[in-house]
Amino acid sequence: MNHTPTAEEKNAVKVLVSQETDDEVGADLLAALDGVEVIRYDPNSEQLTEQQRQAQILLPPYRSSHRPKRLFGQLSAPRMVQLLSAGADEWADTVPADVILASARGAHAGPVSEWALSAILTLYRQWPALVRFADQGIWAHRRFSADTLAGKKALVVGAGHIGTATARRLAAFDATTTLVASTARDGIHGPDELPSLLGQHDIVVITAPLTPQTEGMFDKELLAAMPDGALLVNAGRGRIVDTDALVTELQTQRLRAALDVTDPEPLPEQHPLWACPGIVISPHSARTVPGANKLCYEVAAKQVSTFLLGETPSNAVAERANSN
C-alpha cells in the first residue's frame, strides 16, 4: 500500500547526510530533530538523485569532507552547508554568501588539545630518540637529553575552544600560557603583538583557523623571532606557516616542530620536512579518536536546529578565506 505523505512530511526540511559508516550517528541525531527529513547520499558519487537535489541542507562527510564539493552545485535550492570540521576554509570558495556555511567549532577541543599536549611532551621527553634506541636494543641511559614542561612559557595563537582547552591542559603541567586572538580583549593579546611576544616563549601552539589574515602568518620573520630551541606546534592549518622558512629553521636545528597539518597536504613522500631533525608529524589526525564523529555531529545538530528556528547558527562563518 502506497504511503501518502502528510503535510508535516511535505514541509520537512531535507538534509543530506553521508551514507558512510562514520556518519550513521549523524543521521540518527539529525533525524531526531523536528521538521527534518534525512536523506542519505554517497559523497563519492558524481550525480545526485532527483530526491537528493531537493535537499536544502548539506552535511559533508566526517572523513575527507571536500569530496562532495562537486555535488553542491547540483542542489536546486541550498540554504545551508554544515561542516564537521573546526575550520571552514575547504568549503569557503564553494558556498556562496547567500548560503549559510557553519563549522563544528567546539567539537574538536578535547581531542586536538590532547594531541597538542602529547606532541609537546613527545619532543620534550625525547620519545622519538628513545624509540630509535629501543629499535636497536640499546639501553640509552644518559645518552639523551630530556626536558620538563614545568616552568615553560607557551604562546597559544588562536583563543577559541581548542586554544583555551590547550591552555588549560598546559596549566596542569605548571606551564604558563599567553593567548593571542584575531582581536585583543581582556587577558588576550592581538596579532600585532606577536613579534614582541614570540621571543619570550619556549613553545608556540597554533590553533587559529585559516583566514586571509592568518594565511602565511608564520613567515621567515616571525619564525626568526622565536628563541633558539623553541618548539612550534601546528594544530591549525598548514598554510598558516611558511613551509620553506620552517624547513630552514629545522635544518639548522635552531627550532623544533610538531605538525598535525602541513603545506602541502598530504605531505609528499620525498618532502624535506620528513628528514628534518627535531620534528614529529602526524597525518592531520589530531581529532581522530573514538567518538569524535559523534562529538562533531552533536554540534552540527545544534547548528542545524538553530537554523531551522530562523536564527543564525553560532558557528556560522562570516569571514571566508578565498571566497568568491
**CATH number reported for the structural domain that contains residue 212 in this entry:** 3.40.50.720
Q: What is the mean pLDDT of residues 151-155?
A: 98
Q: Does 103 share its domain with 113? A: no
Q: What is the mean pLDDT of residues 38-51?
A: 98
Q: Does 125 share its domain with 263? A: yes
pLDDT band of residue 318 (cuts 50, 70, 90) is confident
In angstroms, the CA 92 to CA 9 distance is: 32
Q: Does 114 share its domain with 98? A: no
In tens, the pLDDT along 277-315 reads: 999 999 999 999 999 999 999 999 999 999 999 999 999
SS (H, E, C) 154-204: EEEECCCHHHHHHHHHHHCCCCEEEEECCCCECCEECHHHHHHHHCCCCEE
pLDDT of residue 2: 52
Element (H, E) at 221: helix 220-225
Residue 21 belongs to a domain: yes
How many whole angstroms from its chain centre is CA 230? Answer: 23
pLDDT of residue 319: 62
Q: Please, what sign has the CA dihedral across residues 111, 194, 209, 251?
A: negative
pLDDT of residue 5 exceeding 80: no
Q: Three cell numbers at 175?
A: 606551564
Q: Does 71 share its domain with 116? A: no
pLDDT of residue 210 exceeding 70: yes
Q: Does 257 share its domain with 174? A: yes
Q: Does 252 share its domain with 117? A: yes
Q: Please, what sign has the CA dihedral across residues 221, 227, 229, 231?
A: negative
Q: Does 22 share its domain with 63? A: yes
- Domain around 46: 7-107+290-308
Residue 230 belongs to a domain: yes
Residue 319 belongs to a domain: no
Domains of the chain: total: 2
The DSSP output letter for 261 is S
pLDDT of residue 323 exceeding 50: no
Three-state SS at 233: strand
Question: Which residues, in sequence order, are CB contacts of 7 under 8 Å at separation 6+?
Answer: none
pLDDT of residue 98: 96
Q: Does 141 share its domain with 25? A: no
Q: What is the mean pLDDT of residues 199-222?
A: 97
pLDDT of residue 11: 81
pLDDT of residue 166 exceeding 60: yes
Q: Does 17 share its domain with 142? A: no
Q: What is the side-by-side strand order in the sheet with 256-259?
A: 176-180, 153-157, 203-206, 231-234, 256-259, 279-281
